[in-house]
Amino acid sequence: MNFNTKISRYFTLHEALYLKSWQIYHIPTEKEIEDITNFAKSLDLVRDLIGLPFIVHCWIRPISVNNLESKYHKMNYNEFVGSKNPNGAHPKGRGCDFHVKGFESAKDCEIIRQKIVPHLNRLGLRMENLIGSWIHIDNLPVIRERFFRP
């Protein structure tokens, strides 16, 4: 598998499948590829809105890593990085944590969040309402509101 393959206008398999803490790639199922690719197209629209490159921190966080060549095969990456939600967006490849190039601080990320919020409904996306040096966007169904506290 070529991890430099583009899955949308702006994003690659590397960004979606690289598990940074373990320095390995998750080998996706067909369903994961479908979900990742669909989500990447939505993330492209957010990237167009902002007009600057995104630096992906974390995309898929599989419950069971599928990489036969790794000592982490079948291990739970989502749990390893501290998530207690096995049904969240990251295990499905439908959520992404990132910052915008040149906007790395928590204050900078809040500026970017406020630019995105008015467009969430039109884009069919949700975004976490948290102060931090990253932005979380996903395409899971809205439970209460699109700009939410986890």
Confidence band, pLDDT 50/70/90 cuts, at residue 114: very high
Cα(11)–Cα(117) distance, integer angstroms? 22
Confidence band, pLDDT 50/70/90 cuts, at residue 149: confident
Tens digits of residue pLDDT in 4-17: 999 999 999 999 99
Tens digits of residue pLDDT in 47-83: 999 999 999 999 999 999 999 999 999 999 999 999 9
CB neighbours of 1 closer than 8 A, spacing ≥ 6? 13, 25, 27
pLDDT given for residue 47 in this prediction: 98
pLDDT given for residue 44 in this prediction: 98
pLDDT given for residue 150 in this prediction: 82
Half-sphere exposure for 107 (CA within 13 Å, toward CB): 0
88: three-class secondary structure by DSSP: coil
Q: State the pTM of this model.
A: 0.94
Residue 1 has pLDDT above 90, yes or no: no
